[in-house]
Structure 1
Amino acid sequence: MEKALEGIKVLDFSHLLQGPFATQLLGDMGADIVKIERAGTGDMFRGMTFFNKWVGGSESPSFLSWNRNKRSIALNLKSPRVREIIMEMAKDADVVVQNFRPGVMEKLGYGYEDFRAVNERIIYCSGSGYGESGPYVSRPGQDMLIQGLTGVAAATGRADQPPVPLGAGMPDQLGAMNMVYAILSAIIWRHKSGKGQKIEVNLMAGMMAHLNQEYVSVLNLDQDFERPNSGIGHPGAEAPFGIYATKDGRYVSIAMSPFGHLMRTLGAEELLRYDSRDQLYSKRDEIWEEVNKVTLTFDCDPLLEILLEADVWTAEVKDFRSATQDPQVVHLGLMTSYEHPIAGTVKCVGPAVRMSETPAEISRPAPMIGQHGQDILAEHGIDAAEIEALIASGDMTIQTKENTKARS
């Protein structure tokens, strides 16, 4: 079937998470993503993993997660001839994406003005940690650092513990979403005006925008959040909003549920003494402890059945492995896989959006380093002899199954 972004060509210089997730989302919708990696080592995420384990013995789960539906070419960006080739590629490209530190791409000759000089309609999306000017411009911008600076780590966890980082790289992933919506907006604007433009996205601004509820509350109510000492689910929330234990060692989350209705459903009418707005906030830790004692008298499944029957907003708290077996996840077909030449069958989460006429799909596995380099250069008129010369000089590399070594 036709894809929504079919015919859109993206030159993707990005690495790690923010930029690669953004371009993967565009690739899921049919854009031709040409991933331009460093000759030799490729994307930095190729050398990072969790648990000190590698998929198929050599491949990074982090890289595999954010780089499907792309073609890879691995080049030495400092080579004058490589720059000439890339600028030739840019003449029929629609979008450039990069997330190096500010100034790096300009120094190498790949800034917005460089691309605009050969293609006035180019859309150039630049991602950074803190923006492209200001006192933090030369600092490393990384997900956990942004969590600390923007307040979300200080708002997470219990009051008697240090600030807690989130269990996933949310600033990076929200940054990717901001890249995508800005790029798609720029494509629509270009369709109207014929003009390209430069887009600047940074992790700090993106995270703060997604914390707007918290900032509006603090700034307009003139009160800082204080973390609870219990399992209350937000530093500004009143009871019962939170996570509770069950007798069989599992947990349930209980969201915005009328306290009186919840207590009657649990058969804990004695706790109705807390049922006032003032107490539900001021005594929220005490209330959480009392409610937790009640939930600990139930096994998880019977508790969920009772609460859901009463239309209480509740769900089980699951780890990643058990979440994949959740009946709603199975019904939606969220878990899928693709075949990789080295890693074998890669299990993953499929595209999150459903479109009736132009569905997203996984059509390519995450590429090996420079896997498609010869084809990409041939498409732009580079003959076989020059391609061999680029490989021989080290200005271009190609990973194969045969030259891949297992990691210890």
Structure 2
Amino acid sequence: MTDASQPQALGGLRILDFSHLLQGPFATQLLADLGADVIKIERPGKGDLFRSLTFRNKWVGGSESPNFLAWNRNKRSLALNLKEPRARDIIMDLAREADVVVQNFRPGVMARLGYGYDDFAAVNPRIVYCSGSGYGEDGPYVTRPGQDMLIQGLTGVMAATGQADNPPTPVGAGFSDQVGAMNMVYGILSALLWRERSGKGQEVRINLLAGMLAHQNQEMVMAMNFNEDFQRPNSGIGHPGMDAPFGTYPTTDGWVTIAMSPFATLVGVLGNDDLLAYDDPETLFTKRDEVWRKLAAETGKWSTDDLLRALLAADIWCGEVKSHLGAAEDPQVQHLGLIQGYEHPKAGHVRVVGPAIGMSETPPAITRHAPMVGEHTREILATLGLDSAQIDTLIAEKVAGVSD
């Protein structure tokens, strides 16, 4: 972990984080990496639902969910029963000095519990309150579950991904949630800048549906203005709107990607001049699957290293296709120091992807491990002036919780 004494851009900013799963926690982790004091408010004992979900029943250190560890570093955990009036008093005491509240429960849940925007604004008019949802705060889908893959299906990205003779293909990561997290950060920082100018807080609302559509704007503009949907290719072409050679191609020991490149130059590298018969824009689109198959027959004669060396020498836009483990060992990834780690009291050494931005004066940093449920309950309650006996009473009466 990094030296916590290094100045950070969001140092002094306090965030009350009620979020769970991916969208909200990733957003608050991004802010925490920049120095914000993120207090993660969790259910005593159970905590964030992601603590109990994992891939392939694998647990880091035998007990900790990689899903939770991925999105919750640099935070403190305060375990409170939100339905307890005394817990609400504690949260509102914290809110008086807080800057931001983040939550991604279904619309209406937080307000019914007494933790809506108006409740926080009543004790702190400068508060920035950010809500994340699947489909917005109202409308015909408001009661639907707003899960990542469901949003991908609704917004066109799934229908545009994969090959035509296969089912629509979801992206192999939580793309909708991660776009939503970025939009949360964008909205929160914008609201904080406005607050500095006006003195006023505000509510920020982010939803996955809007985010996924906005991040496909070039595809949406094309489809809507020509009233024509994209048709998925039936080969390794990499985008439903692109012509050959754009796509993925086999080698003797793997796959390479080839992006927008002069077709004649590519053919020259591969050494089959018969392919030049396809070299006009209309043919490269209308016969793109046929072209892909013929190109693939040629790339399949090369090893990945040899083909990349030849393509790069000819200034062809290309790259390898790597697995997650392969990406972690990539020389450029290593050069940039993107794979980092921290020590966790139960999981041991946890390898993670570090912050993705660089700042010359206030760099982001990993200074805390992902917390255990209620790990910082005593520490945080003490800042409100509660003594040990009072904290012990709250814990004994199940208003608050601490880690094992």
5+ residue gaps in structure 2?
Answer: 1-5
2:364 counterpart of 1:360: yes
Deviation at 1:390, TM superposition (A): 1.3
TM-score by length of 1: 0.97
* Alignment-derived partner of residue 136 in structure 1: 141
1:228 to 207, 229, 233: 233
2:390 counterpart of 1:386: yes
2:149 counterpart of 1:122: no
* Alignment-derived partner of residue 76 in structure 2: 71
Deviation at 1:140, TM superposition (A): 0.8
Separation in 2, partners of 1:382, 1:263: 74
2:297 to 287, 293, 296: 293
Separation in 1, partners of 2:262, 2:118: 57
2:61 to 56, 59, 66: 56
Counterpart residue identity of residue 33, structure 2: D
Separation in 1, partners of 2:216, 2:234: 22
Secondary structure, aligned partner of 1:174: helix
* Alignment-derived partner of residue 284 in structure 2: 280
Separation in 2, partners of 1:134, 1:258: 48
Counterpart residue identity of residue 36, structure 1: I
Deviation at 1:383, TM superposition (A): 2.0
* Alignment-derived partner of residue 184 in structure 2: 179
* Alignment-derived partner of residue 153 in structure 2: 148
Separation in 2, partners of 1:99, 1:268: 55
Separation in 2, partners of 1:78, 1:222: 50
List structure 1 runs of 4+ shifted beyond 3 angstroms: none
* Alignment-derived partner of residue 3 in structure 2: none
Separation in 2, partners of 1:278, 1:256: 15
Separation in 2, partners of 1:127, 1:177: 11
* Alignment-derived partner of residue 329 in structure 2: 325
Separation in 2, partners of 1:62, 1:179: 20
Deviations 1:257-297 (A, max 9, x none): 11111111221211000001110000000000000000001
8 A contact 2:86–2:399 mirrored in 1: no
Secondary structure, aligned partner of 1:294: helix
Secondary structure, aligned partner of 2:343: strand
RMSD, matched Cα: 0.7
Separation in 2, partners of 1:65, 1:23: 12
Separation in 2, partners of 1:273, 1:351: 47
Q: How does 1:4-403 map to 2 (within 5 A)?
A: 4-248=9-253, 250-400=254-404
Deviation at 1:33, TM superposition (A): 0.3
Counterpart residue identity of residue 319, structure 1: S
Separation in 2, partners of 1:254, 1:393: 62
Separation in 2, partners of 1:215, 1:275: 28
Deviations 1:283-314 (A, max 9, x none): 00000000000000101100000000111000
Counterpart residue identity of residue 372, structure 1: H
TM-score by length of 2: 0.98
Separation in 2, partners of 1:49, 1:251: 29
Separation in 2, partners of 1:40, 1:20: 18
Deviation at 1:247, TM superposition (A): 1.4
Separation in 2, partners of 1:315, 1:221: 32
Counterpart residue identity of residue 176, structure 2: P
Separation in 2, partners of 1:80, 1:193: 33
Secondary structure, aligned partner of 1:318: coil
Counterpart residue identity of residue 207, structure 2: N
Separation in 2, partners of 1:324, 1:53: 19
Separation in 2, partners of 1:137, 1:292: 46
Secondary structure, aligned partner of 1:273: helix
Percent sequence identity over aligned pairs: 64
Deviation at 1:359, TM superposition (A): 0.5
Separation in 1, partners of 2:125, 2:152: 37
Counterpart residue identity of residue 370, structure 1: G
Separation in 1, partners of 2:231, 2:319: 25
* Alignment-derived partner of residue 2 in structure 1: 7
Separation in 2, partners of 1:221, 1:239: 21
